[in-house]
A and B are shown apart, each in its own frame.
Chain A
């Protein structure tokens, strides 16, 4: 019988603006992934400390990984289910991702010197557009990017809500289980699950809005394409308050590039917020045998919300874009 190796995750709360005396606890992702960069920018240089040097034979830098992975996917023959479809099952963890801002964190960012939860320098998860910035419409740029959202509102994930898609994918370990009719994706971060229907069923009616949205999956060759609609727009994309509305349409693509590595990609479009679709990508790597997901009881242990409210923060629920 295999020894059961338990990885104990520590409840993580997103950081909020620099208000003296009130901080939330550290990021799990920060501890696991990247040590503070020193000297030259982490961009494209070498694998950050704590990350594997190579991911499925591709470089440990998001942009380089993205290009390499698309190439490897053309020739890799994945393990298969009895049906012949690729078998994506197992325990996985995102690599190279940072929770702070999908646009990356520069050395001049003041929060890199935060005494409790320092932000970590890194290039971010965006691979398109080429400038690696979210293509916001002008009104939206001052709401995201540590703007209005970050300064006035409580991140829904801090309030024990789900991180939503795709943030929940890079906050902690997850598990994929697969049948012909459904694929379920279980996330330890705040106990979130996603059910992806691969049985051809249509999306639910447009008036039902959900935190995880409604996910319909299909196979294109060896790639699982997940079409996500019906999101409620109540979550942020990262700690900086980057966001989308309930009009967002997300398309994820999962492709194994070697037995222990999945290339994960997501394209986001939202005609109310963005000027064009944009794409993020990163690797998922397989956990060691014996891994299990543990219960994370966020709401049951949450005691900080009254403090946030007293300081004048408000629960988010999409207020800035709903009131437009």
Chain B
């Protein structure tokens, strides 16, 4: 069901005014130079402080690759480097099947958790809250909370293939927070276009402040059961600049229930 996104192109114009849109490299290209000149404010333990309210501003939630518009969904340039997703042959066919069935097959239509990194580029803000041992990412969408442990603890032990949002452990490489996430189930998609993964998914995100109001966000996807090689997405994340910016709530399933009430 796409009804939740009708009107988004109109909302986007208003929301764009709330973002800081200084020119930075476009997604999919060489988005992060190796040594950024920017020196960010730091937390008490000397790390760049990613805290604040952030939001992606692109159309990756519809389709992470280049796409033209359709009713209710804007056109967009993709966020995938090289615009190619290296599916194994069986998986390329599966993606096409997902695409054909997306109005019912997309787990997002049931208001299920969107997985990683789709939650990052859903068109809703999120708040990063950083302390020395935790970088917590709190999402307005579905009240998803991602707890990134930066306390040196390892991933949960054992063969776990059941988390919708995975198990995230983070470490710092210079000014970049590198978040390593595994233990996914196979039920989430990367977008509404049917791009998918297996429970072997391994996501590596890199968050780098490149200015006071911009994070360069790069994601490496590895899944040897579905793809022939790792591949990458990248995009800017924009700080929400309203003086009293807040994340609110989007309790998706509750709205589905309300719609059912009259039955």
Report the Cα distance A160→B112, complex, angstroms.
11
- Of the candidates A160, A201, A212, A305, the one whose C-beta lies within 8 Å of that of B249 is A212
Q: Total contacts A to B, CB within 8 angstroms?
A: 94
Question: Nearest chain B CB to A4's CB is how many angstroms away?
Answer: 6
* CB of B159 within 8 Å of the partner chain: no
* CB within 8 Å for A210 and B248 given contacts A191-B143, A295-B165, A300-B164: yes
Nearest-neighbor residue (CB-CB) of A160 within chain B: B253
With A161-B254, A179-B51, A211-B249 already in contact, the answer to whether A295 and B163 are too (CB < 8 A) is yes
Within 8 A of A (CB), among B118-144: 127, 129, 131, 134, 136, 138, 143-144
Closest B residue, CB atoms, query A306: B260
A171-187 contact mask (Cβ, 8 Å, vs B): 1 or 0? 00001011101101010
Which of these binds chain B: A40-48, A257-265, A309-317?
A: A309-317
Is the CB–CB distance between B163 and A195 below 8 Å? no
User: With the chains together, A293 CA to B157 CA distance in Å?
Assistant: 15
Known: A159-B257, A195-B127. A293 touches B147 (CB 8 A): yes
**A300 with B134: CB separation less than 8 A:** no
**B129 is contacted by which of A82, A182, A208, A299 (Cβ under 8 Å)?**
A182
* A321 within 8 Å of B (CB atoms): no
Taking a contact as CB atoms closer than 8 A, the residue among B51, B129, B244, B260 that contacts A315 in the complex is: B260
Q: Does A6 contact B (CB under 8 A)?
A: yes
Contacting residues, chain A, for B136 (C-beta < 8 A): 177, 184, 186
19 CB < 8 A contacts A-B: A4-B154, A6-B156, A156-B254, A159-B253, A161-B251, A177-B131, A184-B136, A186-B136, A192-B143, A195-B138, A201-B244, A202-B244, A204-B246, A212-B249, A234-B254, A297-B164, A299-B253, A300-B113, A309-B263
New A-B contacts (6) at CB < 8 Å, excluding given A82-B44, A201-B244, A212-B249: A1-B153, A156-B254, A191-B143, A204-B248, A297-B112, A300-B112
Residue of B nearest to A82 (CB): B44
Nearest 4 A/B pairs, CB to CB: A299-B253, A315-B257, A193-B145, A300-B112
Q: Which residue of A lies closest to B258 (CB)?
A: A317
B152 interfacial by beta-carbon distance below 8 Å: yes
Give the docked Cα–Cα distance between A103 and B24 (Å).
58
B170 to chain A, nearest CB (A): 14
CB distance from B256 to the nearest CB of A (A): 9
Is B247's CB under 8 angstroms from A195's CB?
yes
Q: B131: which A residues are within 8 A, CB to CB?
A: 89, 177-179
- Does A19 interact with chain B (Cβ within 8 Å)? no
A2 CB within 8 Å of chain B: yes
Smallest Cβ-Cβ distance to A204: which chain B residue: B246
A94-117 residues at the B interface, CB under 8 angstroms: none
B interface, how many residues as a size bin? 35 or more
**How many residues of A are in contact with the other chain, CB < 8 A?**
42
Nearest residue, chain A, Cβ from B163: A295
The interface of chain A, by Cβ under 8 A from chain B, is 1-2, 4, 6, 82, 89, 156, 159-162, 175, 177-179, 181-182, 184, 186, 191-193, 195, 201-202, 204, 208, 210-212, 234, 292-293, 295, 297, 299-300, 305, 309, 314-315, 317
Contact partners of B154 in chain A: CB under 8 A: 1, 4
Closest chain A CB from B250 CB (angstroms): 11
B261 touches A177 (CB 8 A): no
- A215 → chain B, closest Cβ, in Å? 11
Q: State A208–B247 Cα separation when bound (angstroms).
A: 12
**Contacting pair B113 A297 (CB below 8 A):** yes
Distance A230 CA – B44 CA, assembled complex (angstroms) = 33
Q: Which chain B residues border A181 with CB–CB below 8 Å?
A: 51
The complex places the Cα of A160 from the Cα of B244 at a distance, in Å, of 30
Closest to A201 in B: B244
Cross-chain contact A317 with B261 (CB below 8 angstroms): yes
Would you call A315 and B144 a contact (CB within 8 A)? no
Chain A positions within 8 Å of B103 at CB level: none
Q: Which of B112, B143, B258 contacts A162 (CB 8 A)?
A: B143
Known A177-B129, A177-B134; contact A191-B145, beta-carbon cutoff 8 A: yes
Q: A208-B248, A295-B165 are in contact. Are A186 and B147 (CB under 8 A)?
A: yes
Query: CB-nearest residue of chain A relative to B111?
Result: A299
Minimum distance in angstroms from A13 CB to a CB of chain B: 15
Nearest-Cβ distance from residue A141 to partner chain B, whole angstroms: 26
Chain A residue numbers with a CB within 8 Å of B153 are: 1-2, 4, 292
In the docked arrangement, what's the CA distance between A82 and B131, Å? 13
Q: Find chain A residues with CB under 8 A from B145 CB.
A: 186, 191, 193
User: Bound state CA distance, A212 and B251, in angstroms?
Assistant: 11
A1 vs B153: C-alpha distance when bound (angstroms): 7
Q: Nearest Cβ distance between residue A165 and chain B, in whole angstroms?
A: 13
Give the distance in Å from the alpha carbon of A191 to the alpha carbon of B152 in the complex.
Answer: 24
A4 to B157, CA, bound (A): 9
Rounded to whole angstroms, the CA-CA distance of A210 and B143 in the bound complex is: 12
A202 proximity list for chain B (CB < 8 A)? 244
Q: Contacts of A212 on B, CB cut-off 8 Å?
A: 249
B156 near A211 with CB under 8 A, answer no
What is the CB-to-nearest-CB distance from B222 to chain A, in angstroms, rounded to a whole number? 21
* CB-defined contacts of B247 to chain A, threshold 8 Å: 195
Contact among A175, A192, A314 with B261 in the assembled complex (CB-CB below 8 Å): A314
